Structure 1
Amino acid sequence: MTLLAFIFLLALLPAESASSRYPPKAAISSPVFGPQQVYGLLNGSVTVKCFYPPTRVNRHDRKYWCRQSATGCMTIVSSSGYTAPGYQGRASIIDYPQAENFQISMSELTMADAGTYQCGIGVNGRGLSHKVSLEVSEGPHVPEGAELFYVKLHSTLTMTCSFGEAYVSKRKFLCKMVKSGCHNIIDSYGNIDKYYTGRALLSNEETPGSFSVMITQMDWEDSGLYLCGAGVYGESGETKELDVHVYEEANVPQGKPTIFGVKGSSVTFECHYGARKTSSVKYWCKWRQQGCARIIDSSGYVSNLYEGRVAMYDNPDNKTITIILNQLKDSDKGYYWCMAEDKKEQQSSTELKIIDGEPGLKGKKEVEVQVGSQVDLTCSYPCKYYSYQKYWCKWSSTSCTPMPASDQKQPGPDVTCDTDNKTVILSFDSVAKTDQGWYWCGVKHNGIFKETMAVYLWVTEGELQGKGRQGLSCSSGLGIMLPSAERKVLSISTSDTAVQSAANSESSGQSHGPNTLVLSLSCVGAVLLILVTAFAVFKYRQLKRSDLVSVGSYRTNISMSDFENVKEYSASNNACMKESQETQIGGDEFVTTTATPESAAETKKAKRSSKEDADLAYSAFLLTSSSIAQGGCSGDDTAPAVSP
């Protein structure tokens, strides 16, 4: 039996060692907290500040300052108006309920004032008190006491230390006093205690040589005496004492310290904040050793890396903020902080761990559609969400706006979850460019946000109508001058491309041109008109005369009227040639041709067959078409005249 008891005691030794390093809640005897040691000069004064939990009873209860002796604790001064004889005029007490503390001042100190005192609430000796040791010296220097920090359980502690410009390049650190020395918590070299990983953050302040340390999720074991310093503890540099006390406030909800998220799915974080300054900016950040990278805040800021992935919902009624993070990946694991710009508000940290698994909500993650088309965004859910509220919303940096969606499940006694169509659809009848963006499908239960799935809708420009007209074509190279005030030139090709029009309008307010039917009819009519006119002119001149032309020693039956027709229809490489123009035939010989019949050497009626007539008419048509396609003479904007 003795051996078993000995083994049991040995098993308890490591636990006791850990408890001595980080004292548990039981080691904190009273919720009233103050300095353990204060110093005063002879004939000088001293001020003691004591903190208490901000309950309604504590705010209105009696505060006192008493001196401890072997027989009890004699009251020196109290908030009820009592002051002990010998202390009148030199001892006072003031309560600051909003600041959650009261202060005691003693002046005209004597050596007899040194001793042990208590600051407390209620009746002397009932436990709601804190012991303070007063030391009086002749000076000239008074040791600096520890700075006090009274922190609520699970809230955030911020400590600032300043050592001047001489220590700008020195190592900055925070350590906690234990029996074996000062255990390092965090330093500027990137070292951090495992117990404080994800909870502690050291950052430099604007003032040279100054830095701050922030610790979230304060626990009972975080109470104790700390040292912040520049240099190396016990070897070089300077240090400052920081006395931290953790107290518990009733009815304060706490978030989960660790949550698990399935890769590809989503997680929900909940942050609680106090009643003070509810209008201050709340933000959510990811912890790193050198800082906390802001992801989203209540002012509408969202980091570019998290666009479409994170949303924040504020609920002032229960003083909570809900953050949803979806599209989870391995790199998302880590510690996330709920923060507020007002440092007095409650702040917390939560660890996120990513695990493998299947997301509950499934659907296409990207959908691409053209403007004006119809599209359905679908989201299927498992049976565990069958009774949950389903929704679709459009994501933005400030909110996720709910959109009307339809749940495809069929009501009825014979319908079960396994056989039902478990799909939620967001429909667009005619997609606009402004509809492009992130859309979330999600589920809620009892007003609490659960899983979400993100979908990105791409909206592309479709085939635009009205930029061209299809299917309109005429003869290759045919240009038509429309006899209208608008004076538009139509370039018509045999391809299936649209007809392009170049406006040469006299007024900028005129319309862009006739419709396709009018253009087609105009094109066909113009071609027919040219053919008929060419044939009629040809027949008329043929009946009038037929001349033989002598070109050098060469005699031919080509009539002078044929030359005139060619000239009149501008059938040459230069449609703007003069009435008389020299043309080189060969060698140094030149023949001058004129448009007048008097210049012909001989005139003679020429007889041609009907086939020759048709060939000549067709040649005249081709020559005329080629001339008009070249756009006429430079400086001339009128169509070539057709001789009657």
Structure 2
Amino acid sequence: MGWNGGFSTSYCSKQNSQPGNARKMALLAFIFLLALLPAGSAKSRHPPKATILSPVFGPRQVYGVVGGSVTVKCFYPPTSVNRHDRKYWCRQSGRRCVTVASTTGYVSSGYEGRISVTDYPEAENFQISISSLSPTDAGTYECGVGDNGRGLSYKVTLSVSQGPDVPEAAELFYVKLHSTWTVTCSFGEEFTYFRKYLCKMEGEGCHDIIDNIEDDVIDADYRGRVLLSLERSPGSFSIMMTQMDWEDAGLYRCGAGEYGKNGKSKELDVFIYEDKNFPLMKSTVTATEGGSATFECLYEPLKKSSTRVWAKWKSDKYTRIIDNTGYVKPQYEGRVAMFENPNNRTVTVILNQLNEADKGYYWCITNELKEQQTSAELKLTEGKPQLTGQKEVEARVGSRVDLTCSYPCAYYSYEKYWCKWSPSGCSMMPASDVRQPGPEATCNTSNRTVILSFDSVTEEDAGWYWCGVKRNGLFGETMAVKLSVTAAGNDAKHSPELLDVDAPSHAEFPNHVEPGPGPRGGAYSDSGVRSGAAPGSSDQGHGSNTLALVLGPIAALLLIVVTAFAVVKYRQMKRSDLVSIGSYRTNISMSDFESVKDYSASNSACVKESQETAIGGDEFVTTTDTPESAAEAKKAKRSSKEDADLAYSTFLLTSGSIAQGGSGGDSPALDVSPPQDQV
């Protein structure tokens, strides 16, 4: 019993706890779903169903007075089928919609003479005009294209009142998907100093999107793509909203003051439809710091008078950076350029040398076809530019200059180019693999470089040059290079090729004379040293002075040694004294007396055949002996023994003379000739 009772209690408590747990789980699930829901904003999370199902758009509510008239405007997509198709106005009756009037000429009974349907295909709308209104005309209607029941229609409510005061109907805006919506709101001079705003209707309230007082009031979903600008007319302002999406459809209010409290407002009804021919532009552009960013803008080439402006967005205004009239904001010179592409009806704007201050939203603005205005956000990411090279180059007039741009393998198949920047654009110089004369871009695919060469640079060549890549006609990354050109000969003394010479000062050398003009092609620094001659000539002059100081004593010493050697040799020659033997003179050295017999033999032979000319002569004259000379020669002839004795005596006398003379000087020559009586 106790066991059963215990079991029953346990079972009952378990049963009772199940509903409580289920409620807890349901509550937790509900809280979880609430957490997943995004924060409230002015944007609806889902586009209106009618926007998707039917592209026909008209007023939600139309107001009229008894006896008065009303006009209903309905829009439709401008396709060829829609332009030629039937337009109609029908009244709902239960599940049916009975045709009241159409463009085929049909008019139902009771409406003859007071209703018409007119098509305006160029304006992409048709209008229904009803006059002589009566209370019975009030009701629900549809304006449509084609046959009734096809779904290409829009429901309109017509209200007819007795009083003269008729509520103002909402202004209609038929806006293409991804295009720009533009509206002007005017409230009169009395509202000049009131707060101006735009809000979107949500239930009974209106969620603020933007105003002209506080930047922080801008809704996050509209930041960077909505602009409020004050007009010249007092109390008037304009609204531009770009990149319109399905979720932007709905009811808005523009006003002066505070909605629901004071001031005045106006209802705006915005409808979004899709045009397959309208291009989708990038809403976000990502680039690296120091690199470049490319923006695409829409324009109509046939509208020659259209002004195209590229500007940076602010909540209450935009800052113009560049336009198609040649204007460039000064701090953007060399950084931004505009390229028109008539083939695809776009304008490409490139901004390079990016930095942190460039982050933000940029707008393409035109004074015609305002729906083509676009906006995009620029974001910077970490990384390095793909195109690299020297960003600043200096050169002198007449010199050769090469501007080099290196690209990675990813750009190997891209079209490369150089262009010279100017406020009106960037003049293209497409790169080629074959070098041609003059400034031209050449591409070296082996080391992936694009080179812009100047054979002889001029001052007119100075400026900004861009290196870039293209693919399929679309512009890609660019790199800007600034070329500075100076006149030849300016500040030659500061050239890195000139040497700094320690020239003597005038104080140290008062008699120093400045050099005159040097040969053509030379240049002189302030010290007077010619620096345009052979490199290092000034250093050599300085070194030659030092070398002379060092080698001077050595050269003097060598000169003394050479002189001494010459003196010794001369003394040796002097010591070989001139000896007279009879009427003959000859130089005799010590070796000549090694063999007395040889000497006497040779001498006797020579005496018979020749006679010496005057002293110092270098000729020997051969003569013929006469009988008288033969007798004298025979008479003066000595024996061999006498000659040997005489030669030996001469040697002894000469040796003695040398010994007496020493090194102090030359001894006089001794006359050892035989006595006259022996000759």
Same fold (TM over 0.5): yes
In structure 2, C-alpha distance between the alignment counterparts of 1:156 and 1:259, rounded to whole Å:
19
Shift in CA distance, 419/92, structure 1 to aligned 2, threshold 3 Å: closer
| Corresponding pairs, count | 465
Match of 1:277 among 282, 287, 303: 303
Per the TM alignment, residue 389 of structure 1 is displaced from its structure 2 partner at its CA by 1.8
Match of 2:406 in 1: 380
Match of 2:316 in 1: 290
DSSP 3-state at the match of 1:325: strand
Match of 2:182 in 1: 158
- The residue type paired with residue 252 of structure 1 is F
In structure 2, C-alpha distance between the alignment counterparts of 1:453 and 1:16, rounded to whole Å:
42
Match of 1:172 among 196, 208, 213: 196
Per the TM alignment, residue 446 of structure 1 is displaced from its structure 2 partner at its CA by 2.3
Match of 2:420 in 1: 394
Tell me if the contact between 1:313 and 1:321 (Cα under 8 Å) persists in the aligned partners. yes
In structure 2, C-alpha distance between the alignment counterparts of 1:364 and 1:53, rounded to whole Å:
53
In structure 2, C-alpha distance between the alignment counterparts of 1:370 and 1:305, rounded to whole Å:
26
Tell me if the contact between 1:372 and 1:431 (Cα under 8 Å) persists in the aligned partners. yes
Match of 1:65 in 2: 89
Are residue 25 (structure 1) and residue 37 (structure 2) matched? no
Shift in CA distance, 441/319, structure 1 to aligned 2, threshold 3 Å: same
Tell me if the contact between 2:433 and 2:444 (Cα under 8 Å) persists in the aligned partners. no
In structure 1, C-alpha distance between the alignment counterparts of 2:116 and 2:32, rounded to whole Å:
51
Match of 1:242 in 2: 268
Per the TM alignment, residue 391 of structure 1 is displaced from its structure 2 partner at its CA by 1.3
In structure 1, C-alpha distance between the alignment counterparts of 2:204 and 2:139, rounded to whole Å:
29
Match of 2:77 in 1: 53
Q: When you count helix as a share of all residues, which structure comes out higher?
A: 2
Tell me if the contact between 2:444 and 2:450 (Cα under 8 Å) persists in the aligned partners. no
Match of 1:363 in 2: 389
Are residue 214 (structure 1) and residue 240 (structure 2) matched? yes
CA deviations over 1:248-304 (Å, ceiling 9, x no partner): 111322122112111111111122346873652222111112211121222222221
Per the TM alignment, residue 496 of structure 1 is displaced from its structure 2 partner at its CA by 4.3
- The residue type paired with residue 24 of structure 1 is H
In structure 2, C-alpha distance between the alignment counterparts of 1:179 and 1:378, rounded to whole Å:
63
DSSP 3-state at the match of 2:104: coil
DSSP 3-state at the match of 1:424: strand
Are residue 447 (structure 1) and residue 469 (structure 2) matched? no
1:257-336 aligned at under 5 Å gives the runs 257-273=283-299, 277=303, 279-336=305-362
Shift in CA distance, 91/319, structure 1 to aligned 2, threshold 3 Å: same
DSSP 3-state at the match of 2:460: helix
Tell me if the contact between 1:33 and 1:50 (Cα under 8 Å) persists in the aligned partners. yes
- The residue type paired with residue 162 of structure 1 is S
1:131-142 aligned at under 5 Å gives the runs 131-142=155-166
Match of 2:447 in 1: 421
Match of 2:58 among 31, 34, 42: 34
Shift in CA distance, 46/364, structure 1 to aligned 2, threshold 3 Å: same
Match of 1:521 in 2: none
1:422-501 aligned at under 5 Å gives the runs 422-463=448-489, 495-496=514-515
Q: Which structure's CA Rg is the greater one?
A: 2
Match of 2:671 in 1: none
**Which 5+ residue runs of structure 1 have no aligned equivalent?**
410-416, 466-492, 500-644
Q: Which moved more, 1:288-297 or 1:97-106?
A: 288-297
DSSP 3-state at the match of 2:380: strand
In structure 2, C-alpha distance between the alignment counterparts of 1:199 and 1:84, rounded to whole Å:
47
Are residue 89 (structure 1) and residue 113 (structure 2) matched? yes
Per the TM alignment, residue 354 of structure 1 is displaced from its structure 2 partner at its CA by 0.9
CA deviations over 1:1-26 (Å, ceiling 9, x no partner): 98989877765556498699515235
Match of 1:230 in 2: 256
With the length of structure 1 as denominator, give the TM-score of the two structures: 0.68
In structure 2, C-alpha distance between the alignment counterparts of 1:419 and 1:172, rounded to whole Å:
59
Match of 2:218 in 1: 192
- The residue type paired with residue 210 of structure 1 is S
Shift in CA distance, 232/25, structure 1 to aligned 2, threshold 3 Å: closer
Per the TM alignment, residue 404 of structure 1 is displaced from its structure 2 partner at its CA by 6.0
- The residue type paired with residue 246 of structure 1 is I
**Which 5+ residue runs of structure 2 have no aligned equivalent?**
1-20, 436-442, 492-511, 519-679
CA deviations over 1:319-364 (Å, ceiling 9, x no partner): 1111111111111110111221114441211111011211111111
Per the TM alignment, residue 403 of structure 1 is displaced from its structure 2 partner at its CA by 2.6
Tell me if the contact between 1:254 and 1:272 (Cα under 8 Å) persists in the aligned partners. no
With the length of structure 2 as denominator, give the TM-score of the two structures: 0.65
CA RMSD for the aligned pairs? 2.8
CA deviations over 1:488-529 (Å, ceiling 9, x no partner): xxxxx9644769xxxxxxxxxxxxxxxxxxxxxxxxxxxxxx
